[in-house]
Structure 1
């Protein structure tokens, strides 16, 4: 069966790998369109590239995201040790920090639950990926700004601005279309960035007033900035206690990048719900865990979250479901550019990576039967504590590892577990693809697959 034309290229490449039974290391000559590529799905070699050699990201890999992601953000990602000294992420991007935000996040998701209730009563068909995107946006806004963005409201300013900023990403990957869309796309991105700037300035005014600020990433960054603990941005050099323009630009670019990255979690959430629908026995185990750790009553669950948000960390099987979903449906491809003297070895052979681009192929690695027995099976138990066989070291890497890993992985896991807690017991989801729709390849989840934009699953055909 031919693949849908908008399928994410990594899944097409995995189909080629399976058809020709290619080894964990293989080379592709894409000249003249692209430099020579070495595709790696071996965890030990991936570890060498990322943790030992610390190969940087491939230049230009984020270029198709401009101007939704600013040039400043893209350049920042290429720096070594960029997280440690970053104005936003180097301060408090930790699991413990996000746990404190869980009570407010759960309240912010109230409109989502109400909307799902309405859909269940009317039988209206809706796109889960869109619903998931609004939920992830809302929770990310809470983490950054410490306030509810209102993404579920009719004519939401935030959801409209975000949609405008990402609306042309897929088309922008086509070099023949890109010149014709840039003018309109740039204007929409300016609206998105202006909204972020406005919120940053409002948060800073609150920080410097007598009002006690709520916990947020910006609050932590402002505290470090005002204490001259960000060496690249010294508040003592600014007049009247205002933020320097350079610091504001850094925050705007960082917040925009954080929103763009976070919403990829909407695809993971959509797949979680799809897989639970397809595997009712596993869904019942998730529901039982939620009842045991929290309560069968949603209001009591919300109260328990408010009193003890750390309780969310006790959802061990729910986390295993999330991890297994991310194994089956990785949301990206990692490109690295190793130094000219980098070599790798496999089966007694030594290969030079001079002038090559390295593709760390998570999609293939996560579906290798020698690493994950029955690799196409949805089996969350493989991620349960004490499971046998144990998941090999460095084999599960949806957030990547080492230099250039996903700094938002802790936030993403909190978000996914929280949404599942609030909806899995309350609602039964059913797939609503039209019967005449052609099915995608089974290894891609049947009627759903990751699209070229990488933001979520779509119906095949």
Structure 2
């Protein structure tokens, strides 16, 4: 058998028990494997070397041909919670390696695309800079497909958060009117009513003495407000279980993990099933609301100033049917229109409640840790509303513009959004070529991330960036500093900025106006950790249970949320 190799298959019988392969075949297989492996190694080395060429001249994290920048990322996660939002990790990298306006990451094979991390907010007129403006303002890169993979099961694929081109442009223009400040003031009574319920909830928590996740209470408030603004319905999630709210929160709980302590967590076979299930439940609920609302309108567009977002969509549809001369008796909602509308409603409900509730929680947290700032905010509220706190809600209803007479409270909110931005923007490179310091950087096949957290914590833009200084945002001459244009960007900038930012700020102002003088609210992680049996209650465990010296770090749970929901102890204040 000189020119053949015998392969024995144990426990086999019959003609396939022993297989004879000629030595030439064996050599051919070995050669193919060797060539394939060698080609892969060559391509791998070329790929890694192309990083060096692309990133030359830009300060970047340490890089190796074998691991790319994975070790640099791993070094930061070794001193941070595994659940931390990636934007905090980017800031840690920026600070540790003394980086500048942008840096490049190559984390393949754990991340499919190289990443351009932009930390520069300057204006388009600045020579050699304007990196954030280049990809979000004067040219808006398309949203990264990672966004859809991560939250698409919550918002739907036709969401303005995910769509591009004419579809996005048409829907954004249509719904802009529903979130204009002039329109939102017509909804002020509903907003105040919900905050009054929230105030009662805080009172009950204070009376119980219980340490409770304040973000969760704020989330029920903000989603009830979104129920009025978007669907014109009472969700009542603050006082009882709401079917739609339960669907939303369960859907969010099944969101894939970008970074996980257990690498198998995203391989759970139930994940895709549960995400589809809750999508189906949410779609079914909003579909019924659409049908009911359309039937109530009897084919006529909404009259009057008060118009929830759902009516904005229905009115446009009705007008289109009128232009097409569709007989009144034949009018109905086609499935395409329904799905597009459902996806927008889900987007507004999700984004509108999720990020606002986190900011409300963080505002309480920061004011609780900075009693002088809290005293200033309370003094301002006393001057504007008087010391009878029971009248605050009625005064806002009677004169909605009164909330614009709170520059210090507003500055506290803006400073909170600087310290804890709720989100960043992730884009996918296209034909755009970034111009920076005399060089060109193509963006094609890169993920481009404008890291708002890092921008907000640059010492040269915001001196003492880790301190809470609301005076930064006070009108001159009472301001701590002059804020560089475009440097504050918690809602992003450009055509794809947050459609609901005016509503979010309005909600926060009302919530602070109606609760800051009623309660002392302080985060209490020590009691919470002890309740859960954790070691070293209240400690950050060398950074693995906190970031930047703060136990209330931002977790990635669909958006940037306070860890453990910000457990807080609430106490009633004695009225003067």
- TM-score when normalising by structure 2: 0.73
Task: Tell me the equivalent position of 2:80.
Answer: 3
Task: Tell me the equivalent position of 1:315.
Answer: 406
**Counterpart contact for 1:171–1:178, Cα < 8 Å:** no
Q: Which has the higher contact order (CA 8 A, sep 6+)?
A: 1
Task: Tell me the equivalent position of 2:456.
Answer: 366
**1:277 CA drift (Å):** 0.3
**1:250 CA drift (Å):** 1.6
Task: Tell me the equivalent position of 1:118.
Answer: 204
**1:325 CA drift (Å):** 0.7
User: Which whole-Å deviations, capped at 9, do the CAs of 1:38-93 have from their partners, x for residues lacking one?
Assistant: 11111121112211222222233221223222122268532357244448514432
Aligned partners of 1:156, 1:49: CA distance in 2, in Å?
40
**Counterpart contact for 2:472–2:483, Cα < 8 Å:** yes
Which secondary structure does the structure 1 equivalent of 2:426 belong to? strand
Matched, 1:458 2:563: yes
Which secondary structure does the structure 2 equivalent of 1:303 belong to? helix
Aligned partners of 2:365, 2:474: CA distance in 1, in Å?
21
Task: Tell me the equivalent position of 2:119.
Answer: 41
Task: Tell me the equivalent position of 1:222.
Answer: 314
User: Which whole-Å deviations, capped at 9, do the CAs of 1:331-381 have from their partners, x for residues lacking one?
Assistant: 2231222333513213x4443334322111111111111111111111111
Aligned partners of 1:185, 1:449: CA distance in 2, in Å?
27
Aligned partners of 1:84, 1:293: CA distance in 2, in Å?
41
Report 1:248-397 matches (<5 A).
Answer: 248-262=338-352, 263-346=354-437, 348-386=438-476, 387=479, 389-397=481-489
**Counterpart contact for 1:106–1:302, Cα < 8 Å:** yes
Aligned partners of 1:303, 1:336: CA distance in 2, in Å?
44
Give the total of aligned pairs: 457
**1:170 CA drift (Å):** 4.4
Which secondary structure does the structure 1 equivalent of 2:165 belong to? coil
**1:101 CA drift (Å):** 0.9
Report 1:94-113 matches (<5 A).
Answer: 94-113=180-199
User: Which whole-Å deviations, capped at 9, do the CAs of 1:144-167 have from their partners, x for residues lacking one?
Assistant: 122321011233323322222212
The equivalent position to 1:448 in structure 2, one of 552, 555, 568, is: 552
**Counterpart contact for 2:251–2:279, Cα < 8 Å:** yes
Gaps of 5+ in 1: none
Please identify the structure whose Cα radius of gyration is greater. Answer: 2
**1:246 CA drift (Å):** 2.1
CA shift in 2, pair 1:280/1:145, >3 Å: same
**1:221 CA drift (Å):** 3.1
Aligned partners of 1:38, 1:278: CA distance in 2, in Å?
35
Task: Tell me the equivalent position of 2:139.
Answer: 53
**1:252 CA drift (Å):** 0.8
CA shift in 2, pair 1:414/1:236, >3 Å: farther
- TM-score when normalising by structure 1: 0.91
Task: Tell me the equivalent position of 1:438.
Answer: 539
The equivalent position to 1:199 in structure 2, one of 276, 283, 289, is: 289
Aligned partners of 2:322, 2:87: CA distance in 1, in Å?
39
Aligned partners of 2:322, 2:515: CA distance in 1, in Å?
40
Aligned partners of 1:310, 1:279: CA distance in 2, in Å?
28
Gaps of 5+ in 2: 1-77, 122-129, 528-536, 567-576
Which secondary structure does the structure 2 equivalent of 1:55 belong to? coil
